[in-house]
Structure 1
Amino acid sequence: MVKAAYVHIPFCEHICHYCDFNKVFLKNQPVDQYVNSLLLEMERTLKREPTRALTTVYIGGGTPTALSAKQLDVLLEGMRNILPIEEVIEFTIEVNPDSIEEDKLAVLKKHGINRLSIGVQSFDEELLKGIGRTHSRTSVLDAVTRSKSLGFENISLDLMFGLPGQTPEAFKETIHEAIDLGVEHLSAYSLKVEEKTVFYNRQRQGKLILPQEDDEISMYEILLEETKKANFSQYEISNFAKAGFESRHNLVYWNNEEYYGFGAGAHGYVNGIRYQNHGPLPKYLKAIDAHTAPILNQHEVSPVERIEEAMFMGLRKRNGVNRDEFKGLYGRSVDDCFGEQIDMLQKRGLLVVENNRVKITEEGLLLSNEVFEQFIAVLDE
């Protein structure tokens, strides 16, 4: 039974240089039509693939808070009427520091949103300009203060490292500033230069100067050290939380569980099928108008693929993969499926087996992609 939903809002008031998510400039876009179409998609999907109750909902983007307070109110009121969210434990929305006015926060609070994910990336204002962000350090401080004053008690900040011009010392200062704000959760990701981004074009032209690999490794090591000092638990490779504030929605992905994906470009996983919606807004809206599912492509996940996904996604979690739970879910033991790979990675010091769990080591964290690759396309159908 599906217990989670992701909702995509593709609108942005500006486009960051590193972002390859499905997004469009907000100006002159049919936002009201999109909100109505999004609600229609939810209604039709729930009729086709019903569920009893959702426990987590995540609204991402794009920039969800690029919507006006009225548009957010229409969206959230519609969601409450369509989705079974009476038992939702974690209801998250992504916000930008410079689009988080009090009237919008009041709407979010009114409709039961209880977790904010604020896109900070850095507190270094020169660095922010260099990556195409428009907010300032002060606007981040104001956003957190304002959110807390209105009763939001679960706030996460997104940070980035490995950015052009960033040093380990500068990243350490950013971590300290984030921790000093008294938030409950931090996500920190290294820059990946993706196609169809400003940074990709600059890199092709030889104009993008990134930190050396040793410096990027140092930044990650600093991240692990400083969050640990501040009593944040690293529960996943890139995510750190105070006790009890781990992201339940993200754990849906890492536990290989199913979830609805609503909106232009959204991905979902329902009834054993992974799917992706049309990304371009006109195609998405046209499909909704035609009373058809706005799906671009879909793939039925085979039993072997489910096993492999469960292994490499489960290893992203610091508590790893429980061998008994794995066998109970998939009917095969971890050792039967991946004994050779686990043995090899143990000898290299990248994995460890303890307390009946297969877990990535501190050294393995630095080579995590190499670890995960060992579990992809290795089993026979």
Structure 2
Amino acid sequence: MKKTSVYIHIPFCRQKCHYCDFLSFAGAQARAEEYTSALLNEMEAKSDFMKEKEIETVYFGGGTPSSIDEKFIEKILTKLRKAQSVSKNAEITIELNPGTITEDKIALYMEVGINRFSIGLQSSVDSELEKIGRIHNYEDFLDGFNLLRKMGAKNISVDLMTGLPGQSLESFNEGLEKVFKLDPEHLSCYGLILEEGTLLWKRHINKEFEIDDELERDMYKLLVSKSRERGYEHYEISNFAKPGFRSAHNTVYWNLDEYIGLGLGAHSFADNLRFSNTADFEEYVNSSNNNKDVTINKILVDRKSLMEEFMFLGLRKIEGISFQDFKTKFGNDIHDFYGKAIEKLLKQKLLLESGEGIKLSVKGLDFANIVFREFIGE
């Protein structure tokens, strides 16, 4: 049976973070019931893309999925299992924010089969959390993490960020040490991106704080070094896992495998088609609840574009790209299309090549975007 994955977007949150440009709304949880109804209708409408396929991963993202009543998460998963074939060993992840984690929520999540929990800590320093508009402090995170462990959670991922206003190498190191003592199964760490229109972007434009790229690189190197010392596999540019705990869902994206997105603004890739849903909340709810299509575009992705995506997504993985995987997917040797780019990047010491494939060098990890650009428009 062919495999697929499902992403489910929950666009509600208690407060919009100052760096966030995701499709989410603060304080609109009262509309969770009608939104859930619309999402269940969309699930039926997209059933053709999931039928006769086994769902290997499910991911509840947002927004903050844990900000709405847990009964809505239960309804969505129950419907998915009734309508589609979900693997008995499926990885089912839900994103949680400290301050929204309760015993009742965790109990129901586990009861309906959620087995992976991703907590957005971002920083262990309360003053840094305040500057980026998080609703929690470190003690809230600690309470939530310990509650998950107490209730039997065996697969917890923690999100961290680098390059925050006022963040120093010392404060980042302090946060790492605190997290490592908790021994989570997985870590994700992303650099702050100043998205146009966000509050942090405006503050940066007004010169309220500066970006120090060198400091951020030092934080990243510290993270890589310390995580390896503590037994984590650095398996993707921004992700680290204990053996056996890599994110199966995110690996779907990096391998250019197919997935179905459900919910407001969600994106899908299936049968060489890319399609996305409307990002207008009213349109999504009204259309879906009246059995109208919520898809706003559907594009057949050409072979050249697929190859480009395969290259820059695949090179995010620390193991890189297998020559055989490229040939299996596209029927040609990778050098037939990207020989010049590979040769150039090898000379610049940004790539490493073996008999089996190519991957980013240590230097290449620092300048990954330069490497990725070489494979676009070749």
**Shorter-normalised TM range:** over 0.9
Amino acid at match of 1:269: F
Gaps of 5+ in 2: none
Output the CA distance in 2 between the equivalents of 1:178 and 1:220.
Answer: 15
The CA RMSD over aligned residues, in Å, is 1.4
Q: Please show how residues 161-200 of structure 1 align to structure 2 within 5 Å.
A: 161-200=162-201
CA pair 88-264 structure 1, distance change in 2 beyond 3 A: farther
The aligned counterpart of 1:22 is: 23
The aligned counterpart of 1:363 is: 363
Residue 210 of structure 1 and its aligned partner are, at CA, apart by: 3.1
SS of 1:89's equivalent in the other structure is: strand
1:321 and 2:301 aligned: no
Residue 264 of structure 1 and its aligned partner are, at CA, apart by: 0.2
SS of 1:264's equivalent in the other structure is: coil
Output the CA distance in 2 between the equivalents of 1:87 and 1:73.
Answer: 17
Q: State the 4+ residue runs in structure 1 displaced beyond 6 angstroms.
A: none
CA pair 3-49 structure 1, distance change in 2 beyond 3 A: closer
Amino acid at match of 1:317: K
Is the contact made by 1:268 and 1:276 (CA closer than 8 Å) also made in structure 2?
yes
Q: How far does the alpha carbon of each residue in 1:139-176 deviate from its partner, in whole angstroms, 9 at most, with x for none?
A: 11111111111111000001000011111111111111
1:221 and 2:215 aligned: no
The aligned counterpart of 2:69 is: 68
Output the CA distance in 1 between the equivalents of 2:38 and 2:226.
Answer: 44
Residue 180 of structure 1 and its aligned partner are, at CA, apart by: 1.0
Output the CA distance in 2 between the equivalents of 1:89 and 1:19.
Answer: 29
CA pair 231-48 structure 1, distance change in 2 beyond 3 A: closer
Amino acid at match of 1:296: I
Residue 2 of structure 1 and its aligned partner are, at CA, apart by: 4.7
**Given the two structures, how large is their TM-score scaled by the length of structure 1?**
0.96
Is the contact made by 2:252 and 2:258 (CA closer than 8 Å) also made in structure 1?
yes
Is the contact made by 1:165 and 1:211 (CA closer than 8 Å) also made in structure 2?
no
Is the contact made by 1:9 and 1:63 (CA closer than 8 Å) also made in structure 2?
yes
Residue 270 of structure 1 and its aligned partner are, at CA, apart by: 1.4
Residue 298 of structure 1 and its aligned partner are, at CA, apart by: 2.6
Output the CA distance in 2 between the equivalents of 1:201 and 1:2.
Answer: 43
The aligned counterpart of 1:79 is: 80
The aligned counterpart of 1:347 is: 347
SS of 1:55's equivalent in the other structure is: strand
SS of 2:92's equivalent in the other structure is: strand
Residue 47 of structure 1 and its aligned partner are, at CA, apart by: 3.6
Is the contact made by 1:3 and 1:51 (CA closer than 8 Å) also made in structure 2?
no
Gaps of 5+ in 1: none
**Given the two structures, how large is their TM-score scaled by the length of structure 2?**
0.96
Output the CA distance in 1 between the equivalents of 2:92 and 2:52.
Answer: 17
SS of 1:377's equivalent in the other structure is: coil
Is the contact made by 1:2 and 1:260 (CA closer than 8 Å) also made in structure 2?
no
Q: Please show how residues 1-381 of structure 1 align to structure 2 within 5 Å.
A: 1-27=2-28, 29-47=30-48, 50-207=51-208, 209-378=209-378
